[in-house]
A and B are shown apart, each in its own frame.
Chain A
Amino acid sequence: MPSHDVLIIGAGLAGQRAALAAAEKGATVAIISKVHPVRSHSVAAAGGINAALNAEDSWESHAFDTVKGSDYLGDQAAIEVMCKEAPDEILWLEHAGVTFHRNDVGQLGTRAFGGASQARTYYVADITGQAILHVLYEQLMKHHEQIDRYEEWFTTELLLDDSGNCVGAVCRNIRDGQLQIFNAKSVILASGGAGQAFSPTTNALICTGDGIAQAYQIGAPLMDMEMIQYHPTTLAENGFLITEGARGEGAHLYNALGERFMEKYAPNKLELASRDVVSRAEQTEILEGRGFPDGTIALDITKVPRKRTLEALREIVNIGRDFAGVDITREPIHIKPGMHYIMGGVKTDVDGQTPINGLYAAGEVACVSVHGGNRLGANSLLDTLIFGRRSGEHAADQALSKAMPSTSHSKIADTQRKFDSILNRATGGRRISEIKNELGETMNRYAAVYRDQAGLETAHEIIRRLKEEAAVAAIDDKGTVFNQDLLGAVELEYMLDVSECIVVGAKERKESRGAQFRTDFPERNDAEWLKHIDVSRNGDDAPSVTYSPVSITQWEPQERTY
């Protein structure tokens, strides 16, 4: 049984940063990922990462923009920590080797991003996430003596001891199907988001909410689950993302009448208002008949000088050409709002600690909450790194002063039984993929930019039905080597749990704030709803709701205009 001081589940930016921080503290570390670490979804982050590093900028300004962006649901104490520590984190990355863009005099250069009062987004062309992820992986290879990598291992559940401490996890080696218990003094969940519960989505096929569901299963509370970000610029056909960097570089949005409609909705910030505002504006234009016949809006990047586009937005030039047949340097590309990010997640404090002793969470799987009702572009990479590092440090400190807890092998038999029962399901029911499609369409219909009670009730009923269908859905692959079919069935269960929590949270919040716009409650209501909704598992399989306060340090809620 592998035993380590710190066990990290997930090897995206949050997980890898946590691993390096824990190792630096002297802990032994295991990092597990169901795909090779550089395939983690952080690789797709394009636009950049925020920090108030310029002399003219200040962390307070960054923090205020974040608070306002969150529609005052973000926890200000946590936001302060993130924004204060951001500059040092950028420098740490630079020293580790990230090839950040330079200005004419060779210093770090920035680009503008939505919802920000300063150009404070640091970037590497439009492969920022990839560049950082690959550099962190370089560091993992460098520190291989302290950090054991388990690449292509799938975590199926978290382990609690008799007193309710988290002491490890059960994992399956995807390569040969072997089950293994990983024993640890501290466990950090860093397994990313749950975008695949929606269809279409900008998220990769691996973003199936595993960690959120696994924490929920052992009783950890989830927070802000109703807050789902729709990104303003995604391709209609497949949901691929056109980075906000495009608008940061100067691209405009037009409706089918050729109007630059953001002048109506956000007269000051225009296309660079925060994402919920821009997405809602687009959706309104489309619903009121001013979109293109295919239900889209035009994003015009030809405004940006061609040479600049080719240097700074190369990836979306490729995406436009290869996946939409459009040369974005010469013609507008059609886009619409698309599911992109889940603000909610496993509730943690600023050290990544969940209410379950020994269990930490960081990155998209977690909710600190620094994003509140709406995440600003380029704040998520920052969130993963700052709270990844803080979790790693805290988890290592705790672990170094503890003895290795004991775990029992009996859990392996339980998990094996569960797998066997999936393998032995009788054919005849629906296919996994059908259930997944119906879930995605349901969420995208009822839990999207505009929501109302009736729609959310319908969505909830559908999810309950899909849960029953998923419990008996048969699979084709009966083998042990790379049985992706089997893992797909497990992931579907995770997505259904996460979806249910999203819908329960959305039904509960009877107001409009950030990404949640209720057509039946169109106003923000600070008197009743300036609070977090926590969802946790109640008995067998029904989420129950509680509330927790929002931390307010220096910014009282105001009306939000851009």
Chain B
Amino acid sequence: MPEYTLRLRRYDPETGEAPHYEDFKVELEGHRSVLEAILQVRNEQDGSIGVRCSCRAAICGSCGVRTNGKAGLACHTHLDAAAKNSKHGENVIVVEPMGNMPIIKDLIVDMEEVHWKKIRRVTPWLVAKEPVPEREYIVPHAAMVDVTQTMACIQCGACVSDCMTMEMDPLFVGPAALAKAYRFVGDPRDAEQGQRLKDLSEDPHGIYDCTHCFQCIEACPKGVAPMSQIMRLRRRAGSDFHIDDRNNGHRHEMAFIKNIRKNGLLHEADLLPDSYGGKFHPRAVPELLSSLPVVLRALKTGKVTVKKALLHEHKASPEIKRIFDTVENREVRLEYNLYISGNEDDLADDPADTTGGTATATLAPPVVEAPAVEAPAEPAAVETPVEPAPVAEPAAEIDTEAPAEGEPTEGDTQ
């Protein structure tokens, strides 16, 4: 049986000692989990090791830790996989408490202080539509499957631990809480979708604070893909509810789209003014003035030159136009959600088919790296459900335009 060195970060607030690392030897088969190793050590060598755990099967969300620097569930991380990723020596596995949260003892962090406070920030309960029906609400099958992706969240905090934005901005509402918000915004039974979106758009630490770093998708053991949920919130806020957030996040995204449609490539000199409604928009002047230092720096470093700024050297190719046309001419906006559809391989409905199926027996987060596939046998998409009730300014019609923001690769990979 292989021997592993478990290097645990120890901290006991009562001793007055500084945090330190302690090595323990364990003998266990490689497919056993890091949690089993920790428990073996605790049972046989040192009962004082602090770690939360209960189900042992990646269901309860107790055992979030960092293994070799990456957040995840200890019970969902195989020893051999962890050892392979180790930079600390052969079969040395470093286990530390999660990040972005205060440490209480050893591997135990204060989830209440960070994670749960943020969850409570998003009004985390259904505000049921009136009138409440006598029987169940009638809602599309696909809409329930769609929100089941966020219901699958076990509140382990791994995404919060590794969120880059949260590290810079502790006030950021964060991946888990925003995924929770989508659980209601995507639920056709909720009466306050518009309010929720307005609130989270206008909060400077809300949905437009995320920097698309993908860390939360990587960390999540349940395929919740928080970043994808944040993108969905943005799409719904901007396209369905026409929310003009004070942070200008939505218009900034639209500027990207316009830019690509015109140039095929990013043309930075247009991006900034367009983000404020064009060079001649009244808001653009003060904003552009305040952005002057950035512009100057860009000029100085050569990122933007006067020539580049004035001349559009690059024109969008017909292929790009075609993509826009195809997407924009759809009657309804399709939300490709691989959580619902599975990927192409998964859809091969033939039990006898054993040729595919490569995504097995790995303990990498169950994120299958596959681009969204164009509607296979059965459409793998949810139509944006139901009539949204606009709150901010009443919108005359539902805009079902699909923003092109990274659609195929933005991480709807579950």
Binding site for B on A (CB under 8 A): 35-36, 38-41, 43-44, 91, 94-97, 99-109, 124-125, 127, 130-131, 134-135, 138-139, 141-142, 151, 175, 204-206, 238, 240, 302-303, 305-307, 310-311, 314-315, 318-319, 321-323, 325-327, 329-330, 431-433, 475-485, 488
* Nearest CB in chain A to that of B350: its residue: A306
- Residues A141 and B350 in contact in the complex (CB < 8 Å), given A39-B61, A204-B56: no
Show 17 residue pairs from A and B whose CB-CB distance is below 8 angstroms, ordered by the A residue: A38-B155, A41-B54, A109-B141, A127-B152, A138-B125, A141-B124, A151-B112, A307-B378, A321-B362, A322-B76, A323-B57, A431-B47, A433-B42, A476-B46, A479-B48, A481-B105, A482-B104
A204 and B55 contacting across the interface, CB-CB below 8 Å: yes
Contact B147 A99 (CB under 8 A): yes
Q: Are A240 and B57 in contact (CB under 8 A)?
A: yes
B48, B124, B349: which contacts A476 (Cβ < 8 A)?
A: B48
Given the known inter-chain contacts A43-B60, A131-B151, A204-B55, please indicate yes or no for A106 contacting B138, CB distance below 8 A.
yes
Q: State how many angstroms separate the Cβ of A32 from the closest Cβ of chain B.
A: 15
Judging by beta carbons under 8 Å apart, are A433 and B44 in contact? yes
A331's nearest neighbour on chain B, judged by CB, is: B354
Other-chain residue from B47, B126, B189, B347 in contact with A477 (beta carbon distance below 8 A): B47
Chain B residues, Cβ within 8 Å of A95: 128, 132, 136-137
For residue A44, which residues in chain B have a CB less than 8 angstroms away from its CB?
55, 57, 59-60
Contact A100 B120 (CB under 8 A): no
Per-residue contact bits, chain B 36-61, to A (CB 8 Å; 1 contact, 0 not): 00000011101110111111111111
* B151→A302 contact, CB < 8 A: no
Which A residues lie within 8 Å of B362 (CB)? 321
**Number of residues of chain B lying within 8 A (CB) of chain A:** 72
Tell me whether A107 and B138 are in contact (CB under 8 A).
Answer: yes
Q: Does B104 contact A204, Cβ atoms closer than 8 Å?
A: no
A38 near B349 (CB under 8 angstroms)? Answer: no
Interface of B with A (CB < 8 Å)?
12-14, 31, 42-44, 46-48, 50-62, 76, 78, 104-106, 108, 111-112, 119-120, 124-126, 128, 132, 135-141, 144-145, 147-148, 151-155, 187, 189, 340, 342, 346-351, 354, 357, 360-363, 366, 378
| Distance of A95 Cα from B187 Cα, bound (Å) | 12
Q: Within the complex, what minimum Cβ distance (angstroms) separates B17 from chain A?
A: 12
Please give the distance in Å from A434's CB to the nearest CB on chain B.
8
A123 to chain B, nearest CB (A): 11
Residues of B contacting A311 in the complex (Cβ-Cβ under 8 angstroms): 145, 340, 342
Extra contacts besides A141-B125, A307-B378 (15): CB < 8 Å: A35-B62, A36-B62, A44-B55, A99-B151, A101-B141, A102-B140, A106-B140, A107-B138, A138-B124, A151-B112, A205-B56, A307-B342, A321-B366, A327-B357, A330-B357
Query: CB-CB < 8 A to B132: which residues of A?
Result: 95
Main SS of chain B's interface residues?
loop
A239 to chain B, nearest CB (A): 9
Tell me which of A38, A100, A175, A238 contacts B104 (CB under 8 A). A175
Given contacts A139-B125, A327-B361, contact A310 B54 (CB under 8 A): no
User: Looking across the interface, which residue of chain B has its beta carbon closest to that of A138?
Assistant: B125
Pair B54/A480 contact, Cβ less than 8 Å: no
B351 & A330 in contact (Cβ 8 Å cutoff): yes
Given the interface contacts A35-B52, A43-B59, does A307 sit within 8 Å of B347 by beta carbon?
yes
Name the 5 nearest CB pairs between A and B, nearest first.
A97-B126, A433-B43, A476-B47, A477-B48, A485-B47
Q: Which residues of B contact A476 (CB under 8 A)?
A: 46-48
Residues of B within 8 A of A135 (CB): 126
User: CA–CA, A106 to B14, complex, Å?
Assistant: 56
Contact B56 A94 (CB under 8 A): no
Q: In the complex, A483 Cα to B14 Cα: how many Å? A: 11
Q: Is there an interface contact between B357 and A329, defined as CB atoms closer than 8 Å?
A: yes
Chain B nearest CB from A491 CB (Å) reads 12
B55 touches A100 (CB 8 A): no
Contact B136 A107 (CB under 8 A): yes
Give CA–CA (A41, B53) in the complex, Å: 11
- Give CA–CA (A245, B55) in the complex, Å: 19
